[in-house]
Amino acid sequence: MFVRTVTRTASRECSGATHFRGCHDGGMSDDRPAYKFDPAQADNLDAAERDSYLPADRLIDELGLRGGETVVDYGAGTGYLTLPLAAAVGDSGRVLAVDESEPMIERLRETVAEWSVVEPLLIAENRVPVEDAAVTGILAVNLLHEVRGEEALAEMRRMLAADGRLIVADWRPGAVDRPSGPPDEHLYTPDAAAEELRRSGFTVRESRRPPYHYVLVATPVTRSESG
């Protein structure tokens, strides 16, 4: 399902880092490659069994939406989570469904054609065309291992409102009988993922773990918290 690796040079330096280890037990500052999803395998993203081990409604509940919000599905893919997000924000809300893959965005446009609240956006270099602090919630699911060495978390921090929430869920290395995802060596441990988020300006708590993933709830650090 995941077949492409893309080597990126991290923006931060780390003395003594070794391949597949890095500074912070898998932080973005090591030299392991980002592991990118192959759009040719897009049908797998809509597999019915996916909701049995990572329910969409549970992830969306973590955002605490009431309706009318602007939210982002970061790495939206086929729109598996985009449509439930659209239902959650309602007719007065807005869902920005962003992806860096043109084939995925083309497919997504077809999927959401009848949903006026959804705006599919093809992005490059993790630049989302919204104002600072303009969105209430962000979902980033099965994405963190794909943006290693990039500026995705900084961009999420930039566009998230002070009282907003970012939900990061990704495959958990070492999970027994994991049905999909990249090899363990390309994945973040929950602790390493949380550390990346803290370095990017978030406070973090871990939600109850599904069978094969970890789920982190992140909120922007306030001035009082940062000292």
Domain ranges of the chain: 4-226
Q: Among 17-21, 61-65, 70-74, 105-109, which is the least confidently predicted range? A: 17-21
Edge-to-edge strand list for the sheet holding 160-171: 118-122, 94-99, 70-74, 135-141, 160-171, 213-220, 202-206
Decide: helix, strand or coil at residue 90: coil
The answer to whether 19 and 30 are in contact (CB under 8 A) is yes
Give residue for tokens 């809509």.
Answer: 46
For 47, other C-beta atoms within 10 Å of its C-beta total 13
pLDDT recorded at residue 61 = 97
pLDDT recorded at residue 172 = 96
pLDDT digits (tens, 9 = 90+) for 84-115: 999 999 999 999 999 998 998 999 999 999 99
Decide: helix, strand or coil at residue 208: coil
pLDDT band at residue 11 using 50, 70 and 90 as cut-offs: very low
- What is the domain class of 4-226 according to CATH? alpha beta
Rounded Cα–Cα distance for residues 105 and 76 (Å)? 8
Q: The whole model's pTM is what?
A: 0.82
pLDDT digits (tens, 9 = 90+) for 120-155: 999 999 999 999 999 999 999 999 998 988 899 999
pLDDT at 13 over 50: no
How far is C-alpha 216 from the chain's CA centre?
10
The answer to whether 210 and 59 are in contact (CB under 8 A) is no
pLDDT band at residue 26 using 50, 70 and 90 as cut-offs: very low
pLDDT recorded at residue 48 = 66
